[in-house]
């Protein structure tokens, strides 16, 4: 029951649904997601943490960057079903279409440049 609640809470937020839509069929660096969403890095990190805790996404670190992707084939059946439902629901969403167009432009930018443009937390 706890896992069901965690999953449904993770899906009950527009930003997190946008993140899942952006990750459909690709892996993205956190800097790319920050650029797409136009939110503070700490806010995006919190959303990513909630999605990871719900097992909807996986992450890996490579050098300075953290990359995120949808949960793989080893994900529980409920997660796969939930993601399929989300993607079916997004098909006619203007926000999903807009995000994908914006993401095409973001993916043309070198992650090093993209990351350097984002604000750093105060020391």
Q: State pLDDT tens for residues 38-74.
A: 999 999 999 999 999 999 999 999 888 899 999 987 7
pLDDT tier at 120 (50, 70, 90 boundaries)?
low
Strands of the chain, DSSP E: 28-29, 57-62, 65-70
Q: Does domain 2-117 fall into CATH 3.40.50.720? A: no
CA dist., res. 117 & res. 123, Å (int): 17
Strand-pair partners of 59: 68
- The two tokens of residue 96 are 């999903």
> Residue ranges per domain, the chain?
2-117
pTM: 0.91
- The two tokens of residue 17 are 């649904």
């Amino acid at each position: 029951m706890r896992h069901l609640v965690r999953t449904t809470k993770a899906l009950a937020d527009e930003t997190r649904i946008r993140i899942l839509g952006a990750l459909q069929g690709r892996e993205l660096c956190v800097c790319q997601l920050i650029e797409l969403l136009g939110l503070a890095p700490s806010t995006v990190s919190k959303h990513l943490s909630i999605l990871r805790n719900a097992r909807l996404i996986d992450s890996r670190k490579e050098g300075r960057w953290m990359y995120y992707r949808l949960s793989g084939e080893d994900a529980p059946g409920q997660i796969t079903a939930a993601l399929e439902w989300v993607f079916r629901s997004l098909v006619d969403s203007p926000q999903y279409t807009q995000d994908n167009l914006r993401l095409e432009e973001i993916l043309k930018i070198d992650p090093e440049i993209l990351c350097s443009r984002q604000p750093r937390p105060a020391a």
